[in-house]
Amino acid sequence: MKQTHVNSIDLNLFTPAIMKKAYSLSKTSLLALFLILSVVFACSDDKDDDPKPVDNNPIVATWELEAITPQTAGTTIPNLALIEAAVPCLYDLKVTFKSDNTITTADCPTAVTAIDTFVPISGATWKVENDNLILTKGTTNQSLKFTQTATELKINVNVPASGTSAAVNAVLNFKKV
């Protein structure tokens, strides 16, 4: 029996040490967990993206090309009939001026290509200053006079000379979709 008593004493002697060691491990584990979480959250991306400005100009909408007319009555726009024949979807073209000042187009990529040669709309940005619509593509800016109602947008553009024809000012007439 003496041996049993010694084992009992031995266990009693080591029980506080084991408890102290377990308590120490749980404090160490908790501290390690806290440090890991601190590092994870401290290293997360704190940089907030700068909010993009929102332009509330009435031009922000989708507009469908309705007609291309000469700015001066009686003037002929060079090659307009040829363009209309070559681009049958020309008057299906939709241009969207977005509130983040970007432009998107839809429904007639061929028209975008044709118009983009004298009015940069593909991949361009826009802004309005007074009665000027300023289109920017890359490092090139083009300022165009425009007028607008709730349902109509008219943009004055210069159509380059063709052959013996002189350059002509034309009006791109859009209706709000």
What is the four-CA torsion angle of 102, 107, 110, 112, rounded to 10 degrees?
-20
Note whether 70 and 76 are within 8 A (CB).
yes
By DSSP bridging, strand 103-106 and strand 94-97 are antiparallel
Name 116's Cβ contacts closer than 8 Å, sequence gap at least 6.
122
36 and 69 both lie in a single domain: no
Same domain, 38 and 67: no
Same structural domain for residues 37 and 69?
Answer: no
Residue 2 lies in a domain: yes
Question: Using an 8 Å Cβ cutoff, are 85 and 42 in contact?
Answer: no
Asked if the structure places residue 98 within a domain, the reply is yes
Residue 107 inside a domain? The answer is: yes
One domain for residues 7 and 86: no
Phi, psi (5° rounding) for residue 152? -130, 145
Q: List the CATH number of the domain containing 67.
A: 2.40.128
pLDDT in tens, the chain (177 residues): 555 555 555 555 555 555 565 555 566 665 555 556 565 556 555 565 667 678 889 999 999 999 999 999 988 888 889 989 999 999 999 999 999 999 999 999 999 998 888 889 999 999 999 999 999 999 999 999 999 999 999 999 998 777 777 788 999 999 999
Please, what is the end-to-end C-alpha distance for the chain in angstroms? Answer: 100
pTM: 0.69
44 phi and psi angles, rounded to 5 deg: -70, 160
Instruction: Name the domain count of the chain.
Output: 2
Give the side-chain half-sphere CA count within 13 A for 125: 9
Q: Does residue 55 sit within a domain?
A: no
Which residues have C-beta within 8 Å of that of residue 97, sequence separation ≥ 6? Answer: 57, 59, 60, 61, 63, 103, 126
Range of the domain at 24: 1-47
- Are both 139 and 69 inside the same structural domain? yes
List, in sequence order, every beta strand (DSSP E) within 3-93.
61-70
Q: Does 109 lie in the same domain as 65?
A: yes
- 75 and 36 in a common domain: no
pLDDT at position 106 is 96
Q: 124 and 169 share a domain?
A: yes
Verify that 72 and 37 share a domain, yes or no. no
Please check whether residues 90 and 36 belong to one and the same domain.
no
